[in-house]
Amino acid sequence: MYRNWLRKFPDLPADFSALEKPSDLAAWELSQWLPAHSFTLVKEPDLGDGFRISGSTVTGGETGLLYGVWALLRHMQGGAPLPAESSPRYPLRMINCWDNMDGSVERGYAGRSLFFEGGEFAYDPARIRHLARMMASVGLNVICINNVNVHEPAQGLIAERLPELSALADLFRPFGVRLMVSVDFSMPLREGLPTADPLDPDVQAWWRRTAEKVYDEVPDLAGFLVKADSEGRPGPFTYGRSHADGANLLARALKPFGGTLVWRCFVYNCRQDWRDTATDRGKAAFETYQPLDGLFEDNVILQVKNGPFDFQIREPLSPLLLSMKKTSLALEVQLAQEYTGQQIDLYTMAPLWREIFEDLPQENLSAAAAVSNLGRDENYFGHPLAAANFFGFGLMSWNPDFSPAESVAQWIRLTYDFSAEQADNLKRWMLSSREIYELYAGQLGLCWMITPHTHYGPNPSGYEYDLWGTYHRASRDAVGIDRTEKGTGYISQYPPELADRYRDPETCPDNLLLFFHRLPYSFALKDGCPLIQRLYDDHFEGAELAARMERELTALPFPEPDAGEIARRAAKQRENAQNWRDVINTFFHRLSGVPDARGRKIYD
């Protein structure tokens, strides 16, 4: 029905009355692909989401049987390695949708909401089941359906709209997918209480009653997701309370029902004066949460962005992910390509995630969450090749050691009927797309040189004098932020071995150099190239590679309508890369006065 990696599999049945549980669906999926007698499904509840495959038997828990069958089907249809046994690294593998009930999607680049329109629930049940099937096919098990910035009438999702929420949960349930909802911390005020103070007994009682009503309607709700005290959202700071106070209030209300409270750590001062060179936005999350380590209820998960800023093209790992030893954490990444081309420019994310997982301690990480790239476009993802990011996130949130190359190769085999040479060519460009984008849009750890608000295309001065703490401080002599102890001190939030590596420009990786250091344009990089020349070279190379990528992608025999859509977006990416090249090179040439050593065109 819809163009994605499931297009080669049989359509779902119109009548779902006999498919109430994931194990029922597992048996149906298997029967559609293989003769019914070929494989036996054996339920072993203790395995939960895990499964074993031995000979012609798949053994697993209620959901594990479904994941085991999909591992088998991906193996048979797409050539994926077949594990003898497997269980997920993280119990919660989540998609965070930023959908608003008016039908818009904040940072959505694939059309309007799949769930809402005009302030109401508005969805196609068949399409919701197809989305749930996509999630099940790669092991994803939770979807938060509404924006973390909760606006009316979304507050009603845990009040007067509960019966409608229950009906939507019914569609996801056979696929082993549970709903989560974003809630407004100030919700008690909406219901007539004079305060939302988390230590107020009436507020605590109100949340307990609310949780009871919610779970009466949706008994398997995964829990609540909260954004508090950030970018204008209400939170416990209003009442002089800590975020542990705020999170624990909701967690205690959810605990009797097995619910989880996911509390986002995206908290910072968004009213910074650009003249203030001591305040560093990147330090905020650590300063807010690290002193609270060990003070959260055991059903609280702190959701931490992969970097200290906001999904920039290149950031170091958030120090908060390295320092919370007594608190459950969720890694948050962004499928929606807000700063990475907005599903116009090709940007395959699996190599980025591989780097993050390699550096990330796993012992207290209990969830992986991705900000959705879903929308109502016919293919769900805007750019047809952006589907590979959703696919890859599922596989890597199940197993963070999963190979990016294998993820992309598997997706290509499941999605297109290409020759081996054609598939290898597509895989090569997809795997190099992150590097290409970084060359023309964000090299050496520079952040925030993008068009304000829309976040597409270059504007090196756009955020430089605003209130959001997003500065690169380029001058005629130097560029970058000194985040050592001599500067903002951010570097001291890292463990000593990492801090030592980043502190010295000679040992700091070049791709993070200007994130941690303010350096003159004459500074020699590790290959001897002056910094200013590397800025020029990378932008020229990135634009050249984007043009070459367009030529080679459009030569591949994609089926329609993918062929036309990929060609249109690749042409736009080529134009975007050229624009980045000319704007950024001109910006630095005008500041520094240093010409390009290779004599290429830079505009005066």
Q: How many CB atoms lie within 10 A of CB 598?
A: 9
The residues near 54 (Cβ < 8 Å, ≥ 6 apart) are 84
The C-alpha atoms of residue 374 and residue 97 are separated, in whole angstroms, by 8
Instruction: Specify the pLDDT at position 33.
Output: 80
The C-alpha atoms of residue 111 and residue 378 are separated, in whole angstroms, by 9
Determine the 3-state secondary structure of 339 from DSSP.
Answer: coil
Instruction: Specify the pLDDT at position 36.
Output: 54
* Angle CA 176–181–183, to nearest 5: 160
The residues near 92 (Cβ < 8 Å, ≥ 6 apart) are 141, 142, 222, 260, 262, 301, 330, 366, 367, 368, 369
Distances (CA, A) of 64 to 41, 175, 402: 10, 11, 19
Cα-based torsion angle of the residue sequence 78, 79, 84, 86 in order, rounded to the nearest 10 degrees:
-40
Instruction: Specify the pLDDT at position 195.
Output: 97
Task: Using the CB atoms, write b or e for 287-309: b if 16+ within 10 Å.
Answer: ebbbebbebbbebbbbbbbbbbb
- List domains and CATH numbers for the chain: 22-86 (no CATH), 92-415 (3.20.20.80), 443-481+518-592 (3.90.1330.10)
Active site positions, annotated: 231, 310, 338
Instruction: Specify the pLDDT at position 78.
Output: 81
Instruction: Specify the pLDDT at position 362.
Output: 83
Instruction: Specify the pLDDT at position 417.
Output: 95
The residues near 436 (Cβ < 8 Å, ≥ 6 apart) are 542, 545, 546, 549, 577
pTM for the whole structure: 0.97
Q: How many CB atoms lie within 10 A of CB 179?
A: 23
Instruction: Specify the pLDDT at position 2.
Output: 62
The C-alpha atoms of residue 433 and residue 426 are separated, in whole angstroms, by 11
Q: What tokens appear for 346 in the block?
A: 């090709």
Instruction: Specify the pLDDT at position 239.
Output: 97
Which strands, in side-by-side order, build the sheet including 51-54? Answer: 40-43, 57-60, 51-54, 85-86
Q: How many CB atoms lie within 10 A of CB 583?
A: 17
The C-alpha atoms of residue 191 and residue 206 are separated, in whole angstroms, by 9
Instruction: Specify the pLDDT at position 218.
Output: 98
Residues (pLDDT < 70) of the chain are: 1-2, 35-37
